[in-house]
Structure 1
Amino acid sequence: MRRQHRIDWAKLRRRSRRYWAISTQISLYFGVHTLLMTAIPLSISDPVIRPIALALYMGAGIAFDSFATALSARIGNRRVTRIAGGLVTALALLAGLGFVEGWTWLLLATMFSVCSSLLYIPGIAYFSNLLGPRQTDGQRIAVILQRGGALGSALIISAVLSQDLAWIMWWFMVGLGLVFGALSYRFPRPVRTEEGASLNPLAAMAASVSASLHSPTLMLALVVSCSTPLMFLLHGSVLPVEKASAGSTVGAAIGVGLVLRELLSVLSIAFIARGGFVRCNVEFIITTVIAGIGGVMAAISNQPWMVAVGIALGGPVVASTIVVTVLNVNRSAIGSFRPWAHFGAMGMSQRITGLAVPLAFGAASGAGGAAVTITAGVMFAAVAGGASVLLAIVVRQAGGRAQAG
């Protein structure tokens, strides 16, 4: 029995040597993403340009996610990551040196969105492919990887918000872009899959849309994936701007809340996604409701402790979303000759949310009063409700097939 439970250290060392670089790239991507969601709105003084730029960063990649996944299947993650790393460094350097002003922020935000497409979905799809049948266990590890990067960025954001030094974030991103390029030389050998991997962006998008329309399970995955862009934008972009007049103490509380959220997301791994398909999705719905309550609490209050706690309550749904989204996408992709299209659809769903949420919050901010708080509550309720309906449909269809069999 003792030999049965002994850790195979040699096997762990072999896996670490092979996969540490791709794991680090995933972690650092989420660090860059977290920084950008705060750096972009804080660097733009124009209230009209700000929500549009943020929406473009979050959403313009809808045209590139499926294409980026197909491109990675053709030429491998190494070359794709080098391209993205070079772009991140160049774009962040322009912003850090103050060369970006006015409407040029829209172009910069769009280019950062392209970088996001090249780094995110191809990396997640490749990591999922490496996991094979151990998706749930592997995605719990992915939570630690992803939120580790976001936690590092949250610490940076906490420091710069308390000192009004937002410009420093751009220089961190200059360095991170260089790191992406260096890491790519240590990736596992790229997997090239010619079959079905269209390099026509419109054809790649069409393949993802078609996969979504024919699979309720994939539709469920897409709704689940909407929760994190909504929450990250509320916490990292909307609240820092809305509460800027409340003073540096509240700004520091936002940073503390972001740190607590990431810590709680990692700790939640011990409790979530340890059951079957239905249980994992029910856990997501429950944690979304909790995150919604926290988001409303943080938006409605100027008490530092309430802001921090409200943001921190989003931790469990971060972990749940990461695991459940990929679990559902893999379930939907079984038997598909274009699995990359399913992962592309996941990216497109998050981009649509990224486009809609900043514009909705921008309109709510212009309306004044409690509009931002109400908007946050309605959107969290829509995600939880949509997931509940689609889960019921998937379960009913599975039951019908079981009876037919």
Structure 2
Amino acid sequence: MSPSVRTRFAPSPTGYMHLGNLRTAVYAWLIARGQGGVFVLRIEDTDQERFVEGSVELIYDTLRQCGLDHDEGPDNGGPFGPYVQSRRRDIYLDHAKKLVEAGGAYYCFCPKERLDALRQEAEAKGQAFRYDGHCKSLRRETARARARNGEAFVIRQRIPDSGATAFEDVIYGRIEVDHGQLEEGVLLKSDGLPTYNFANVVDDHLMGITHVVRGAEYLSSTPKYNLIYQAFGWEVPTLVHLPMIMKDHSRKLSKRFGDPSFQDLTAQGFLKEAIINYVVLLGWNPKDGREFFTLEELKSAFSISNINTAPAIFDLEKLKWMNGEYIRKLDVERFNVLALPFIRQAVKRTDVNLDKIGALVQQRTVVLSDIPARIDFIDAL
């Protein structure tokens, strides 16, 4: 048991909890709980344009429903707060300036018009936009003076001109990326707020995060994160990148394409226990081939070493099958409580024993939303 293990779940409050985010939360929670560690909740709200009102409450509610309790967070505090990124602006500004002094970043004063022209030029050539390093050679003293005089600026990451960065991931092994492939992206925006890349690194270090659990889509950005760690002289945490969850063999699961969120599934009558159980198996294989786990059982059964590298396919029919198994194992009283809103959709009569209806349909129910269609004849009797 290692009390030093610290993991975090750091969602952006941009809407519903999609299944990829939920899986990340469950895995990070299991890594912490399985090793007697600490699970931290951090809200990453620096992208204010994408902020959706009510999303923070939705995050709390989802974690609460799923039994994923956090030891530190915006609501219960902790020694490394604030745990909301928009309240940490001064921390990021201070560290961005320190990174400039350490040689890992530089001030950029390029106006929007110049950047737009570069983008148009790249587009005309069929190339991806990359900043041309126009401000990279500015002397630090000159840049600091221009910033002090009120000239608008951003702070960009300084990527070494040659060489490569290698890192170890627990799931994907050793990965090396040539520096020529890395963009010198913005770390601190002109409004003083950090970009995702910079805030993540600073917060993970200052909050003592030992295991960073995130999707495999962040593998390509990891060399840039690690260069920031190196520039500060910080230790890189253990990296655990999770395989993508796919709708099919060609498309990633995405809320934008109408794929279900946790809230969508519970509204349709999927049980939260079944959803969690199924989501855990999207990328993780228990050694004994077992399929059904409670959250408590997962704390001892879950192991990082059994996470796959191959993408996982979200199979709605498999989830329905699992949900049906969970429903049939419910005691009658709990099933009746869960089924009542769905029974009431079809049965308006007040002289009918609704508990008896529940007993009749439980063993044939796969998803609770199936119930109304099965009993819509009752009012006509």
Q: Which has the higher helix share?
A: 1
Fold in common (TM above 0.5) = no
TM score, norm. by length of structure 1? 0.24
Larger Rg: 2
Q: Which has the higher strand share?
A: 2
* Higher relative contact order (Cα pairs below 8 Å, separated by 6+ residues): 1
